[in-house]
Amino acid sequence: MADFTTLITGATRGIGLACAERLRDAGHHVVGMARSASGEPFPGDFLAADFGDREATALALAQLSERFDFTGLVNNVGTVGAQRVEEMTLDVLDDVMQINLGAAIQCVQACLPGMRRAGYGRIVNISSELALGLPTRTAYGGAKAALLSATRTWALELAADGITANAIAPGPVNTELFTRNNPPGSRERERKLAKVPLGRFGEPQDIANAVAFFMAPESGFVTGQTLFVDGGSSLGMTALL
């Protein structure tokens, strides 16, 4: 397989942008989707889409599918919707599930025809270590856990077509959003850092490197797997389960 055309959602900032740059450098033609452009040059083609709107997402994906035969997909877009269980609203649950899981399903469906024609495909789902559980993350953790389950299901369903499906579960990553919510010097930031055995937060490039591994042709015998890229922070979480 010589040509790689890869769709990345949530592609204009943080982990998504790092993945776009890393895969471009690896020779992929990158196509990005996000709610809006960042204002900075994007390393490939870009189309704005609101992943919380199923119809708008379907229309945007149909437009892209007419232009490109995708052989790669990185489902990165997400939203948190933090609420304690007694405060949870089903509207928030629906929104979180659509953006984290529903949009991923829509993207897989849009990319499958091109992958099947090529007899080759790579799907990487960006989940989270919070699939293991955290207060206020009923919706987000549930959606990311569902994405891990879907990864295994898709690996089984698509293997005969030469398509692999794998997931990455990042720990705390030093993105613009994370820094805004956890400012340097804040008690919350220091608390989260203390839970990372390697003693630092992840960088978007750490996640992008893992994505590039799963995307590589040489990784074709790896499917249905979840790789925790978290500096060891999930190890303490699993000890509590």
Single out the catalytic residue among 4, 51, 70, 140: 140
> Is 120 among the residues known to form the active site?
no
How far apart CA 123 and CA 199 sit, in angstroms, is: 30
Residue 61 in tokens:
């994906």
Q: Please name which of 120, 186, 125, 196 lies closest in space to residue 159, comparing C-alpha atoms.
A: 120
Which amino acids are annotated catalytic?
140
